[in-house]
Amino acid sequence: MNTDTIGLNAGQIWQALNEAEAMGIKQLKKVTKLKDKEVFAAIGWLAREGKLMIDVDPEDPKELIITLERN
């Protein structure tokens, strides 16, 4: 996996979140059909750019909820 691939995957994650407002990791994997490491690399990319908010799901503390940062 190179930076071009990670950037493309980040675009898929961003698009999915833009349409749904918020998603868990499991949902993101299902919608984008990306593997764990691809999802986490893309989330890291977007988080580094300040485009995401990451919270723990209050109903399932093992799950993260990802939303787009709306400035």
Counted domains in the chain: 1
Q: What is the pLDDT of residue 21?
A: 82
Looking up residue 51, the CATH number of its domain turns out to be 1.10.10.10
- Element containing residue 53 per DSSP (H, E): strand 52-57
Half-sphere exposure of 46 (CA within 13 A, CB side): 26
Distance from C-alpha of 30 to C-alpha of 69, rounded to nearest angstrom: 22
Q: Give the pLDDT means over successive 10-residue stretches in the chain (71 positions).
A: 95 96 93 97 96 94 92 68
Whole-structure pTM value: 0.89
Q: CA 50 from chain center: how many Å? A: 12
Domain, as residue range, for 13: 3-68
